[in-house]
Amino acid sequence: MAHVPGHVGFPLLGDKSYEFYKNPIQFVEKHIEHCKSRVFATRFLNKPTVFVCSNKGVRDVLADRGGCFELGYKAFMGQIFGDNILFTDGDEAHMLRDALGHLFTSDAIHSYEATVKRIAQRHVASIKDGQSLCLYAFFKQVVTEICLSLFLGLDFLESQEAAETVVGLTTTHWHGIISVPVHFKLPGAHHASTFSKALAAKNELLDFIRKQRSKTSQGFVKRIEEVVSKEEDVLVNNHLLLFTSALVPKGLSSLLTSAAIEVGKPETLHLQRELRTNPQVKHSIYKEIQRLYPPFLGGRRLVRKDCIVDGYKVPAGHAVVFMTYPAQRDPQVYIEPDQFNYRRWMADTPVTEENLFAFGYGPRGCIGQQLVWNIIDTVMNELLTHYQWELLDGQNLTHKYLPVSRPKGSIMAFMRKRASCPCSGSVDHESCCCQVGGSSDAKSQKV
C-alpha cells in the first residue's frame, strides 16, 4: 500500500495553515504538482494532515465504509455553536440525524413553500426595471429573510425592529466563526475581542430563540421540539442556532449568485429561458453550478484507525482535509474540468451525482439539501418569471473561497422587465412588480 507523499514537518515550525488560508486553491495546486498526487501530506492546524483532492479520495473519506473517521469541527466551532450534530459521532449522531430528518422530508419541505414563495415574490417585486442590481447582496437579503422566517417564525414585516436586531446578531456571531478564538473582555463593552463579541451575540440569539419558542405554537420551532426530545432543551436551541446562523444564507446566496452569473453572460443569456422552461436543462445547470462553485471548499475529519484513501495508507491520529473544490474538477472524472458545460450531466457518460460533494456524501451528507434546492428553485423562478438580466461589462468574476465561496467583487447585473409579465391585466396588476419600474429601454445605462 502506498504511503501518502509529502511532509508533515515539525510541530509549529512546519505548519502550513497560514499558507493555506492565504490562498487555498493555490496551496493545493502547488502541493498536487510538487507531490505529483492529488492526495498529499502536510502539517495543518499544527496536526499531521492528509489533504484529499481526488474525486475518488473524497468519496472514500465521506463514504467512510470502514468507520475510520470522526468529524473534525469541534475544535473550530464548538464554543461558538454549542453541542449540536456537527460535533457528535457514532450512535448519538445517528439518532440526531434520524430525528432532524423529519424536519426535511418532502412533505415538510412542501409545507415551507408558501413562506419561501411569499418572501421571494416581495423581494423580486422591489426590483426596478432598468436597475443595476448587486446579485450577491440581493440574494443574501432574500435568503436571510427566508431562513429566519422558516426556522424562527420571525415576520420581517410585522417585527421589523426585531428582525434587524437578529440579523445584526447573526453577523456578529458569524465573525466569531471566522476569527481566532481568543476570549477577552476589558471593562467597557467595545474592548471585547471579536470572539468575545460573537459569544455574547450567541447568548442573545439563544435568548431570542427561547422567547420565540415560548410564544409560538406552530411551525419549525415547535416541530423541532417534537422530533428532538423535549428533555434535550439545549439541543433544540442549539440546532435552531445552527440553522439560523449566517452559514446557511451564505451558502444559499453563493449558489444563487453563481447560477445568476453563469446564465447572465452575453453568450449564455438563452439559458435563462431554458431554466424557466426545460426541467432537464435546469437540473443539469444546477449540478454544474455546484460542481464548479461549491459554497464550502471542503471539510475535515479525524482519523481514529488506519485506513485506505484512494489507494494510500492514512494512519490513525492524522487529520484528513477533504477538498470538494479540486475533487469536483478532477480531470480523471471530468473532461475539461474548468469549463462550465451543463451538457455533461445530460450526456451518456459515467459522471453521476456520486461525483458531487458540495453537500457532502454518505452517512454525514447534508440533511438540508432538498430544502436548499427548493429555495433556490423558488427564488430563481420568481426572478426569471419577471426579469431577464445581463452582467454589466468589464467585471472581475473571480471568486474568493473562504470562509464561504463567492465572487470577490459586487457583481452587478442589468435587470430588464420581461414583456410577458404574468400579471398583465390581472386584478393583481397594481401590486405586481411590473408597476414598479420605469423605461425598459435602459440598457444604455450599462456602466
Distances (CA, A) of 186 to 105, 167, 189: 47, 26, 7
- When the beta carbons of 131 and 237 are compared against ligand HEM, the nearer one is 237
- When the beta carbons of 94 and 305 are compared against ligand HEM, the nearer one is 94
Decide if residue 243 touches ligand HEM (CB under 6 A): yes
| Helix 233-244 and helix 220-227, axial crossing angle in degrees, nearest 10 | 140
What string marks each residue from 278 to 317 as x (binds ligand HEM by CB under 6 A) or -?
Answer: -----------------xx--x------------------
What string marks each residue from 83 to 102 as x (binds ligand HEM by CB under 6 A) or -?
Answer: --xx------x---x--x--
Residue from 371, 379, 384, 411 binding ligand HEM (CB under 6 A): 371
Distance in Å, CB of 170 to ligand HEM, minimum: 14
Structural contact between residues 8 and 42, judged by C-beta atoms closer than 8 angstroms:
yes
Distance in Å, CB of 6 to ligand HEM, minimum: 22
- When the beta carbons of 45 and 366 are compared against ligand HEM, the nearer one is 366
Q: How many residues bind ligand HEM (CB under 6 A)?
A: 23
Distance in Å, CB of 128 to ligand HEM, minimum: 28
Give which of 330, 397, 378, 403 is closest to 120, Cα–Cα: 378
Decide if residue 240 touches ligand HEM (CB under 6 A): no
Decide if residue 174 touches ligand HEM (CB under 6 A): no
- When the beta carbons of 358 and 434 are compared against ligand HEM, the nearer one is 358
Structural contact between residues 138 and 260, judged by C-beta atoms closer than 8 angstroms:
no
Which neighbouring-strand residues pair with 399? 407
- When the beta carbons of 185 and 225 are compared against ligand HEM, the nearer one is 225
Name the phi and psi angles at 150, rounded to 5. -65, -50
Residues numbered 330-369 forming contacts with ligand HEM, rule: CB under 6 A: 358-360, 364, 366-368
Residue for cell digits 449564455? Answer: 268
Decide if residue 251 touches ligand HEM (CB under 6 A): yes
Binding site for ligand HEM (CB under 6 A): 71, 85-86, 93, 97, 100, 243, 248, 251-252, 255, 295-296, 299, 358-360, 364, 366-368, 371-372
